[in-house]
Amino acid sequence: MAEAFQATHYGSSRIHDPTEENHDKAVLKLLWRSGWRSYKKKSGKFKNSVKNLIYPAHIDTVFVLIGAIMVVHFGGNNPKWSLGSVDRLTAYMPSSSYLWQVVSCIIIGFTSWVVLTIVLKLILKILLQYQGYMFEGRGAKVSLKTKIWAATLKGFIRLNPPQLYSFQSLLPRLSVPPLKDTIQRYLRSMRPIVDDENYQRLKREAEDFESGIGRKLQKYLILKSWWAPNYVSDWWEEYVYLKSPGPLMAKSNIHFTDHIAHPTTKQTARAANVTHMFIEYRKKLDKHEIEPLLGQGMVPLCSMQYERLFNTTRIPGVNGDKIVHFETSDHIAVLHKGCWYKVKIHHNGRILKPLEIQYQFDQIVNSNPVSSHGEKYLASLTSWERPKWAETRDKYFSKGINKKALHIIESAAFVMVLDDVPYESDFVNLTNPENLHKIGKHAMCGNVYDIWFDKTFTVNIGTNAKSTCNVEHSWADALVISRLFEETMIYDIHDYDSEGNIKSNKEFEYKIKPRRLEWDFTNEDLISRIDQAYEDGMKLYNDVDFQIVVFTEFGKGYIKTCKLSPDAFCQMALQLAFFRDFGKFSLTYEASMTRLFRDGRTETVRACSIESSAWVRAMEDPKSTTKEKVRLLKVACERHQKAYLEAMTGKGIDRHLFCLYIVARYLEVKSPFLEELLSEPWRMSTSQTPHGQSPRILEELKKYPELKGGAGGFGPISYDGYSISYIITGEDRITLSLASYKSCDLTSTDRFGKRIMQALIDIKALMEQYKAESGK
C-alpha cells in the first residue's frame, strides 16, 4: 500500500525543525499536525459535499426559514398559507409547552426548506436542459424564450455563487441520438469523400444496418444511457486510450510550449515559483474553490476532469492500462542530468514557500550529479509500447528499491525536469523559425528519456527558464491543463524582481534537502530493455516531421470584419490547403467539447462537408466568379458552425457510432458497416487551442497579451496525413503546430505549412476583391 510505503521511507528526510532540541515534543507536534490536517480535510470534504448536494440553495437559509416560522408562530399571526401546520404538529407532541412548539417550528421549517431545495434543484436542472440559445446565432435577434431563460439562470447563479462541482448532479445526461439521424449525418459527411459507386454501396450498407442489427444495438445503448452518467466517456477512456497498445509519445500525449512572455532567466527560480503556484492551485481544487467554467457567463461546463489533475499516473498493463489517482501527495518528482529526486512541497502542515522549494532545486543543480546508464534512460520505458513497458515494470519494478523509487515518481503531484540546456524560442520577433520547430518537437518528445509520459503532466524547464509541458491524454482533455497554466502563469510574470529572482519579504524557514532516489540497474536484461525502448523511441522521434508556423498577415480581427467565424475560417483554409496538397478531399477530424453534459469530454466535427468541398472546387475553378466564391464560403462556414454546435449538443456522429460498435463487440455481433466506418483514415486531425477560458483570465490577457500561450499540439494520427493544432492568438496572429511522418512520401510538413499560409492569404484576397467589386 502507498501509505505503508511512505510511512517506512522517511529516513533521509528531515521531519522536525533542526533548532528543536526536544525530539519527543517534535514528534508530538508532528502527530498533532497530521491528525489535525486529516480532520480538516475530511470535514472540508463533508462540508463541500453538503454544499453541492443542496445547491442552488444555501445552508444558511434553513436557519432563516426556521427563524421566520418561529416569529410568525409566536407572534400569534398564523397566515392562511401555513394551514396551522405548527399547531397541528404540536398536537402530536408529548405536550404543548413552549419547548415542543419550538421543536415543531424546527421540524416544519426544516421540512419546508428541504422541499424548497428540491424544487430549486429541479428548476435549475430543467433550465440546464435548454440549448436552443446556441442556435440563435450571434448578432441575431434573441427569442423571448431565451431571454427569460437567461435571466432566470443568471438569477440562480447570483443567488448562490457556485463551487467547482456545484453543478455536477444538475448537468443534463448525454442522450443517445436517433439512429436514423446519425446515419443520415454520416452519409452526408461521406458524400464529398467517396465516388458515386462507393457512396451508393455505403448507403445500402447503412440502410441495412439501420433496419437490422443497428436497432438491437441502439436499444442496448439507450439502456446504458439511462443508468450511466455518460454513455460515451467511460468507453472512450477505456477503449480509445487505455486499451491502446501503442506508445504515448507522439501518438497519444499532447503538449504545449511556454507562454510568449519570459519573466525570468533563472531556472530554479522559475521552477520553484511554478511549482508553488501549481500546489496552491491544487489546494484550491481540493477545497472546491476553483470557479466552474460558465459558457457565456451562465452555462456551466462539466468539472469532472479536474479530479485527476494532480497525484495521478497511468499504469501500463499487458492487456490494457489503468489510471491510478492518489488522494494526496507531499512531493514532486524531479529529473536533472539523468538523476531522479524526491522534492518536498509540504512541511509542518503548510505548503513550502517558493524560496524553500528553490533551495531544494538549487541543491540539485549545484550538486553536479552523475547518473548511471539505466537511471538516465529510465523514462524511455514510458515512451515504449505499453505491453512491453508493462512486462518490464512487472518483472523489474515490482519489488525492492526499484518498486519504492518508482512509487515516488508515480505518486508525485507531477514531474519537473530541470534541463541542462537552454530552450531557444522567440514567439515575439520570430527571429529563428527553426528554433520554434525544435522547441515544439521537444515539448512533444523531449529527448525520449527526459519526459515521464505516464504522468498527468511533465514540466521541462531549460537553463534559461523557458518551459515546455507534456500531458498524458487519457485522464482529461487539453482545456483542463491549459486552464491550470493560464490561471497560474498570469501571476507568474509578476513574481520576480528586476534581476529575475523570486520576490520575497521573508527568509525561508526550512532548508529541506531533496532526496536522491535509489535504483538497482545491475540486471543486464533490464538495461537491454531500457536501451531498446530508447532506440524505438528515437526511431519514432526521428520520423516525426514537426513545425510551428506563425501566420502574421492577419488574425481574429480581420476575420471578424468578414463576418465569419474565426474557427470556420481556419477550417476552410485547411480544406483548401489539403486539396491543393493531395488533389482530393479526406475525412477531417476537429475536436469539439461535450462538457455541457455530465462527464462529457469530446465529439468529432467532420470538417470536410458538401459545402466546404463545393467552395474549394470553386476556388480552384478559374471560371467561378468572386461573388459565387464568397457565397459558397459563407455557406460553408455557416454549415461548419452548425455542425460544431450539433456536436456540442449531443448530435454528433462518431461517438454514437463508436459506442454502437462497442455494444456489438460485447454481444459478439459482427457489423461490416461499423467495422468499415471505424477503419476509415482521418488524414487531417485538427484542434483549436483556445485561450482565456474565464473572464478573469481574459481580463488579464487584455492587459498582458504576451501571457498568451506560444503553441500546442499533438502527433500525427494517420500515417499518410497531418495533425494541425492552431491558436488564434490575437487580432493579428494565428499560430499552427503541424506534424506528419517523414517516412511517408505523400506528406511534407513544410510544404503543407506553406499551403496553409497561402490559403489564408488567398481567402483574404478573395474577400478584399469582393469588397472592391460590391462596394461592401
Cβ-contact 551, 735 below 8 angstroms: yes
Catalytic residue among 73, 347, 473, 640: 473
Of 756, 721, 759, 757, residue with least CA distance to 739: 721
Of 645, 677, 657, residue with least CA distance to 235: 657
Helix/strand/coil for 83: coil
Residue 239 is classified by DSSP as: I
Query: Radius of gyration of the chain from Cα atoms?
Result: 29
Helix/strand/coil for 532: helix
Question: How far is it, in rounded angstroms, from Cα 562 to Cα 585?
Answer: 25
Question: How far is it, in rounded angstroms, from Cα 774 to Cα 761?
Answer: 20
Cβ-contact 712, 257 below 8 angstroms: yes
First-to-final CA distance of the chain: 71
Residue 734 is classified by DSSP as: E
For residues 430, 489, 716 and 413, what is the CA-based torsion angle, rounded to 10 degrees?
Answer: 150
φ and ψ of 612, to 5 deg: -65, -40
Neighbouring C-beta atoms of residue 30, cutoff 10 Å? 14
Sign of CA dihedral 452, 453, 454, 459: positive
Q: Which residues of 726-751 are buried (b: 16+ CB within 10 A; e: fewer)?
A: bbbbbeebbbbbbbbbeeeeebbbee
Q: Which residue has the cell 421549517?
A: 109
Cβ-contact 438, 427 below 8 angstroms: no
Of 340, 330, 237, 108, residue with least CA distance to 659: 237
Listed in sequence order, the DSSP H helices in 583-714 are: 610-619, 626-648, 654-666, 672-679, 695-703
Catalytic residue check, 473 = yes
Question: How far is it, in rounded angstroms, from Cα 182 to Cα 160?
Answer: 39
φ and ψ of 457, to 5 deg: -155, 145
Q: Which residues of 269-302 are buried (b: 16+ CB within 10 A; e: fewer)?
A: bbbbbbbbbbbebbeebbbbebbbbbeeebbbbb
Cell of 223: 439502456
Cβ-contact 104, 48 below 8 angstroms: no
Of 659, 544, 613, residue with least CA distance to 218: 659
Question: How far is it, in rounded angstroms, from Cα 358 to Cα 511?
Answer: 10
Q: Which residue has the cell 428540491?
A: 118
DSSP 312-340: EEEEP-SS--EEEE-S--SEEEEEETTEE
Largest CA distance in the chain: 96
Q: What is the 3-class SS of 506-519, one letter each residue?
A: CCCCCCCCCEECCC
Which residues are identified as catalytic?
A: 473
